[in-house]
Amino acid sequence: MIKSDETRTKRIMPIDFSNTGVVQPCTTWSDGLHQFLQIKHGLKMTALTVTTNYLSNIGLFIRYGKNIFGLTGTIGSKDTQNLLDLIYHVDTIIIPPLKQKRYIQLEPILAENDDQWLKTIVSEMISNARHQRGILVICETRLDAKTISKQIQRADPTLLVRLYTDNTDAVESNVVGNRIQSGEIIVATNLAGRGTDLKTSPNVEKNGGLHVCLTYLPNNLRVEDQAFGRTSRQGQRGTSQMILSSQRTFEQLTSIHPEYSITNPRKTFTHSMFPSVFLLDRQIF
């Protein structure tokens, strides 16, 4: 993204959209890519940087980690746990929650194309808002978030729709610092799915709690668990649902698993096929 820094100088800032959604102002792309983008957008060029010292996370723990302890709510799949055991020699213990979860994961919706995907998201979110729910829509990119936000506002101008795609203090405090009210919709990137503690009003809880809509297929189970973990916290009520575009999902899967496109040329995913697609994603990652 292009954003002005504290000196009001426009800069190119990478976004970790696949994991956290965080804007990284101190990060630059290597091999001249950052400078190419600066030329393209007519910005001041900066010099290439060279990293003189580097130590990976694995290298750090192998060198210095004798007794490793960690705590997480989204450790990932069994394969991830086995990998942690293999590399860091740690055991995994599942601690039960203090309160029973009052959570319902709704059956996913798989739209035939991007247009139908957008219409379905808008329709479902407006329906939930009119039932006095609080809604969080998590998108893969800032562009998707802006598009969905505009379409919801265009379809029903009476709804309160807030956009959360920037991790600045002012924007974050506005979203996290206030309780979500009935009929309110927050459209965000994965920035809102990384441990953000969203609080809801009593009326939202009365009408079913916070509803989380995930609009893309995450690269791993951990990211999905983080997103759906924004609702039904501390014994509260909540629901979640995936609304995906078969067009995007197919392109994502074939880019990772090319032989799938050979055995299934021009195949269109249907709703009944979703569990197998879901399984394929988990096996790949």
- What is the predicted pLDDT for the residue at 221? 78
Distance CA 65, CA 158 (A): 55
- What is the predicted pLDDT for the residue at 139? 92
Q: What is the mean pLDDT of each run of 10 residues along the chain (285 residues)?
A: 72 72 75 87 84 80 76 77 82 80 87 92 95 93 92 94 74 69 91 77 91 88 83 85 84 56 45 43 36
Written as six digits, the tokens of 136 are 């969080």
Distance CA 178, CA 194 (A): 18
- What is the predicted pLDDT for the residue at 218? 84
Contact status, residue 210 vs residue 200, Cβ threshold 8 Å: yes
Query: Does 3.40.50.300 match the CATH number of domain 102-284?
Result: yes
Residue with tokens 């995913």: 269
pTM exceeding the 0.75 threshold for the entire prediction = no
Contact status, residue 192 vs residue 116, Cβ threshold 8 Å: no
Distance CA 187, CA 166 (A): 12
Q: Where are the domains of the chain?
A: 2-40, 57-88, 102-284
- pLDDT tens-digit series, residues 218-251: 877 788 888 888 888 877 889 999 999 987 777 6
Distance CA 168, CA 7 (A): 15
Sign of CA dihedral 139, 144, 148, 149: positive
- pLDDT tens-digit series, residues 76-107: 778 888 888 888 888 888 888 777 778 889 98
Distance CA 176, CA 200 (A): 10
Under DSSP, the state recorded for 11 is E
